[in-house]
Amino acid sequence: MTDVHIVGAGIHPFGRHDDLTGLDQGVFALREALADAAIGWEDVQFAFGGSSAAGNADALLPRLGLTGVQFINVANGCATGGSALLAGYWAIKSGEFDLGIVVGFDKHPRGAFNPEPAAWGLPEWYGETGLMLTTQFFGNKIARYMGLHGITPMTLARVAEKAFENGARTPHSWRKQPVDAATILSAQMVSDPLTKFMFCSPAEGGAALILASERKMRALGLAGPRIRGAAVRTRMEGSFEVFAPSLDIVRGPSPTQIASKAAYEMAGVAPDDIDVAQIQDTESGAEIMHMAENGLCADGAQEAMLRDGETRLGGRLPINTDGGCLACGEPIGASGLRQVYENVQQLRGRAAGRQVETARIGYTQVYGAPGLSAVTILEA
């Protein structure tokens, strides 16, 4: 079976763009990806695209040209982009197609997401009594992890400090002002132990990738990272997810742990082989926990790793080199593809100002509601 390569990548800067729709930003990213690969829209054989809050992804078609292309809308919560990528991977791996595109974009209102109990199959009292906030879930999850594994609030602050430091070096980031750890730590508390600088915000943006079979890539005279592993997994019994009025006493693996394991096995690589990683950092605690859930360190080792700068640019294992969700914000449909875009740039040596030298294996993991995770492993 053929290998699948990413031969083009485009992004619309993340952040707030009052004069642009989400769709505009998706079109921008898609055109940038086409230009990057020097192919035309009419060359594209298939597309998978998704948006969570900015309309049907196939509304892109009239803007690009009605070529009759197979376009499939993808809606898979926070793993929408990752799922589109996986679908594109299979489309080529199967031998059915040679060249296609995956795209994600979004535009969310300001402020935290505002859920309705009924939409989540939950009783009204749960929302009425003030228990239905995503921020509480993150506070609860990291508070337990810190208690069990000896992580301190300073380590949470260091994660955010690193994010803003990297964001300041990244053209597509939103937050470009460095913020020091002391300021982050003493900022307004949102949901203990997490302060306002430790949370990402809903945002806007778009990202697109061109996928090609190895044969097609060569025929077009292109080059690009190979997808060695890709997996999407959902929650199992005993995982801790958002909006849970009760949890099982017998704890189970997280969706990230099983997606990660599947992707490593598929790729035939081990966590030690990873040179650069983009992992879900909805808030500082998520990055800490996901370091371990993705096998990148043991539980509790994050304390020393952050203190010693191991995950900063220039460190042993740079994580979230573009500032992650903390510095880019989180447009749900685009977020997972933004991570892959960043790794593609890193593996092609095009991440000016934040380049991880000699990066060969790149890892991405996007996680979110209602309890699913998507992992990819790329090789330069």
Partner 1 sequence: MKPIAEGLFRMTEAGPRLIGGRRKRDGKIVFPLPAGAEAAQFDPVELKDRGTLWSFTVQRFRPKSPPYAGDDDERSFRPFALGYVELPGEVIVETRIETDDFAALRIGQPMALTLQPFGKGGDTVTYAFKPA
Contact residues for partner 1, defined by CB under 8 A: 112, 114-117, 123-133, 136, 139-141, 143-144, 147-148, 188-193, 244-249
Instruction: Report phi then psi at 89, rounded to 5.
Output: -60, -50
Check: CB of residue 156 under 8 Å from CB of residue 194: yes
Question: Across the strands, what pairs with 99?
Answer: 212
18 vs 237, which CB is nearer to partner 1?
237
Check: CB of residue 344 under 8 Å from CB of residue 6: yes
114 vs 177, which CB is nearer to partner 1?
114
Fill in the DSSP letter of residue 272.
G
Residues in the chain: 380
Fill in the DSSP letter of residue 366.
E
C-beta of 137: minimal distance to partner 1 in Å? 9
d(CA 246, CA 240): 9
96 vs 192, which CB is nearer to partner 1?
192
157 vs 334, which CB is nearer to partner 1?
157
**Burial class of 214 by CB neighbour count within 10 A (0 to 12, 13 to 18, 19+):** middle
Phi-psi region of 68 (alpha: psi -120 to 50; beta: other; left: phi over 0): left
C-beta of 275: minimal distance to partner 1 in Å? 34
134 vs 343, which CB is nearer to partner 1?
134
The per-residue DSSP string of 82-110 comes to HHHHHHHHHHHHTTS-SEEEEEEEEE--S
Respond yes or no on whether the N-terminal peptide bond of residue 253 is cis (omega within 30° of 0).
no
45 vs 135, which CB is nearer to partner 1?
135
C-beta of 151: minimal distance to partner 1 in Å? 13
Contacts of 219 (CB under 8 A, 6+ apart): none
C-beta of 358: minimal distance to partner 1 in Å? 41
90 vs 126, which CB is nearer to partner 1?
126
Check: CB of residue 4 under 8 Å from CB of residue 230: no
49 vs 285, which CB is nearer to partner 1?
285
C-beta of 292: minimal distance to partner 1 in Å? 17
C-beta of 248: minimal distance to partner 1 in Å? 7
C-beta of 42: minimal distance to partner 1 in Å? 46
C-beta of 154: minimal distance to partner 1 in Å? 17
Torsional sign, CA 270, 225, 278, 321? positive
